[in-house]
Amino acid sequence: MNTPKKDSYHHGNLKQTLLDVAFESLHQQSHEQLSLRQLAKTVGVTPTAVYNHFSDKVALLMETKLKAFEFFHQVLSDSCRDMPADATEERLRRLGRSYLNFSIEYPYLFELLFAWNVDPEKIPPHLAEAGVESERLIQQVVKQLLRQNGRELSEYESAIGSFASWALAHGVCTLFQAGALRAAAHMNTWPVEVNLDDPIKRDEILDQVIEVMIAGLKSRFL
């Protein structure tokens, strides 16, 4: 990421500028490394000016997380935007690939979204709402998949089906980021063919994992 020079920032809306720069910084560093003082220095304002808009780092990260959730949802939505509504299995494959690729391309944003713990009582309603938008997207596709096979899910069943799908996709991402599959293959406890470092092989393997998920959904609910 090319960081603009201080004098290239326009401070007509300083809060938005600070938020945009903080968001961009998380393309290259963890939220734990983000500093309000460093942010002020990057933008070219005093620390006091930053604190006028964000009372502390948690307040800044809350707003940054909202922006990250919106971006994440956009990436997932765009992955199957051109798909026919009835192509549900392919939509699930694309969502799965997009989910994994996002975690690889934007690991620090992914970390902020799912690994930054904060007191639930401090989470504002608009952030909580943004946090479930992507899950709703998965839930809609799962419901459509089973509806096409003659099964209308109850609200509870829909929640279980989408949670299982979400958990599987997220689990693959977490294992990849932790290097668990790479380590297992190196120790000959996992087939070396299961290589998620190769983008082409990664999509092939993920498609097979999603096939298992689809078979499981059909077996459970049909």
Q: Which CATH number goes with the domain that contains 5?
A: 1.10.10
pLDDT of 5: 44
pLDDT 10s digits, 17-26: 999 999 999 9
Domain that residue 170 falls in: 64-221
pLDDT average, residue stretch 180-187 = 69
My answer on whether 27 and 70 are in the same domain is no
pLDDT 10s digits, 9-48: 555 689 999 999 999 999 999 999 999 999 999 999 999 9
Model pTM score? 0.85
Structural domains of the chain, count: 2
Which residue, 35, 54, 73, sits at the end of a domain?
54
Q: Which CATH number goes with the domain that contains 215?
A: 1.10.357.10
Percent of the chain with pLDDT over 90: 62
My answer on whether 106 and 134 are in the same domain is yes
pLDDT of 210: 92
pLDDT of 11: 57
Which residue, 15, 31, 54, sits at the end of a domain?
54
pLDDT average, residue stretch 59-87 = 92
CA–CA gap between residue 25 and residue 86 (Å, rounded): 39
- Give a three-class secondary structure readout of the chain: CCCCCHHHCCCCCHHHHHHHHHHHHCCCCCHHHCCHHHHHHHHCCCHHHHHCCCCCHHHHHHHHHHHHHHHHHHHHHHHCCCCCCCCHHHHHHHHHHHHHHHHHHCHHHHHHHHHCCCCHHHCCHHHHHHHHHHHHHHHHHHHHHHHHCCCCCCHHHHHHHHHHHHHHHHHHHHHHHHCHHHHHHHCCCCCCCCCCCCHHHHHHHHHHHHHHHHHHHHHHHC
pLDDT average, residue stretch 65-93 = 92
My answer on whether 99 and 154 are in the same domain is yes
Is the pLDDT confidence value at 1 over 60?
A: no
**Inside any domain, residue 132:** yes
List Cβ neighbours of 115 (8 Å cut-off, separation of 6 or more): none
Q: What distances in angstroms separate CA 182 from CA 51, 100, 107, 196, 197, one per listed residue? A: 43, 16, 17, 8, 8
**Inside any domain, residue 80:** yes
The Cβ of residue 107 has, within 10 Å, a number of other Cβ atoms equal to: 16
My answer on whether 192 and 160 are in the same domain is yes
Query: What is the band of 194 on the pLDDT scale with cuts at 50, 70, 90?
Result: low
Query: What is the band of 89 on the pLDDT scale with cuts at 50, 70, 90?
Result: very high
The Cβ of residue 128 has, within 10 Å, a number of other Cβ atoms equal to: 12
Which residue, 9, 36, 54, sits at the end of a domain?
54
Determine contact, residues 37/16, Cβ cutoff 8 Å.
no
Query: What is the band of 184 on the pLDDT scale with cuts at 50, 70, 90?
Result: low
My answer on whether 79 and 39 are in the same domain is no
My answer on whether 43 and 69 are in the same domain is no
**Inside any domain, residue 125:** yes
